[in-house]
Amino acid sequence: MRARTLSARRIHASAVVVDTHADTPQRFLDEGFDLADPLGDGNLNLASVRRGSLDAEFFSIWVEPSLYAGQYARRTLELIDSVRRQVDRHPDRMQFVTTADGIAAAHRARRFAALLGIEGGHSIEHSLALLRQYYALGVRYMTLTWSNTNGWADSCSDLDDPKVPHTRRGLTRFGEEVVREMNRLGMMVDISHVADRTFWRTVRISRAPVIASHSGSRALCDHPRNMTDAMLRAVARSGGPRSLGGVVQVNFFSGFVDQDYADALRSLRPRMERAVERARAAAVARGRAFTPTEMQRVRRTFLDRIPRPPASKIVDQIDHIAEVAGVEHVGLGSDFDGVSGQLPAGIDSAADLPKVTEALLDRGFSASDCRKILGGNLLRVLREVERVASVPPGVGRRG
Ligand SMILES: [Zn+2]
């Protein structure tokens, strides 16, 4: 192994490495997958976590909105429970964590820290009480929307659908209350997936810095899920004048890091979605539930035909965001287990994370920059969100 690789491995192993988005809970719940199992189709298990020195993962609690219509809270609770059960099954190797200090303590104890983030505000079913109870169960971020506009915040994915009622300025009055209640509780406000106007309204009213748990740069890959340079800078400035600012966690999905891949995907999508609908209808006709995992499997038969972009595309994203917003405002939000296996070449699981560190060093990032990107920045934001929560609204802060 070359000296550069060895020193990269050392820096990576000593850093607190935090990833803010993995969709593994659906595997726990729908496939009976255990983190001690072999990877199979997935990207994350305990062996890969150890090899990749991944210290903390925010497990995504994502409720597919059409399959679970009428049961959002139930599915949310079942997914939360599935993460808790993994921790219960592996007490020697895992720890359930809800604070920045908890992540640092788990790192010292060499245990993998499991945290919770809800992906999609529809999980709260228009109820601040549910939001508070999810916080009580340990949820520490909520993505205001997934691909579905939810009545109080707009998603970037259905803005041109005339059948979907949208807000006038990004958040309704209730949506603003949700953001303020998240600030008060100490839950990170996640703007991945939201429409641009929802983004701008949110950074304007949030008293705490915001995160993008799994997004990228639109300048490099033009997709509404990615962020313009102005948005990247606004995340860095979010939380008010005294804040140290938020963080954009780079999504590894090939379709968000590489324009060629995104273009190929766009032309393939109509055929792929028709195949999903056929599979769904066939499952229903046989009286079976059609799970998100099966949906992924169908998509994958199409997606695997598109050539994988090089892993350097991930580092291009980090580099660009560091350049535009500052190295204090970028991190990792892999989207492992959520992208139907569509990751750049050489990035197959959490075990490959040290390759990102090595590529960052090759690009000229210092060891201290790498530590910030790998997890330090996210820890700083989580700490500030915790601190803002203990300050009553209006006291010494922008309202
Ligand atoms: Zn997502």
The pLDDT value given to residue 396: 45
Residue 197 Cα to ligand 1 middle (Å) = 18
The pLDDT value given to residue 172: 98
- Using alpha carbons only, give the angle 30, 33, 35 rounded to the nearest 5 degrees: 140
What is the H or E stretch that residue 257 is in?
helix 254-257
Residue 7 Cα to ligand 1 middle (Å) = 33
Residue 378 Cα to ligand 1 middle (Å) = 18
Phi, psi angles (nearest 5°) of residue 60: -85, 125
Residue 276 Cα to ligand 1 middle (Å) = 19
The pLDDT value given to residue 4: 79
Residue 22 Cα to ligand 1 middle (Å) = 9
Residue 277 Cα to ligand 1 middle (Å) = 21
Residue 334 Cα to ligand 1 middle (Å) = 10
Residue 193 Cα to ligand 1 middle (Å) = 7
Residue 272 Cα to ligand 1 middle (Å) = 19
What residues of the chain score a pLDDT lower than 50? Answer: 396-399
Residue 44 Cα to ligand 1 middle (Å) = 16
Report CA Rg, the chain. 20
The pLDDT value given to residue 41: 87
Lookup: tokens for 269: 């999508």
Give the separation between CA 304 and CA 340, rounded to whole angstroms: 9
Residue 146 Cα to ligand 1 middle (Å) = 6
pTM: 0.94
Phi, psi angles (nearest 5°) of residue 341: 75, 5
Complete DSSP assignment for 196-252? HHHHHHHHHH-SS--EEEEE-BTTTS--TTSB-HHHHHHHHHTT-TT----EEEEP-
Residue 201 Cα to ligand 1 middle (Å) = 20
Residue 111 Cα to ligand 1 middle (Å) = 26
Residue 376 Cα to ligand 1 middle (Å) = 22
Residue 214 Cα to ligand 1 middle (Å) = 7
Phi/psi-derived region of residue 53, left when phi > 0, alpha when psi is between -120 and 50, beta in every other case: left
Residue 4 Cα to ligand 1 middle (Å) = 34
Residue for token pair 């062996």: 47
Residue 24 Cα to ligand 1 middle (Å) = 12
Residue 369 Cα to ligand 1 middle (Å) = 26
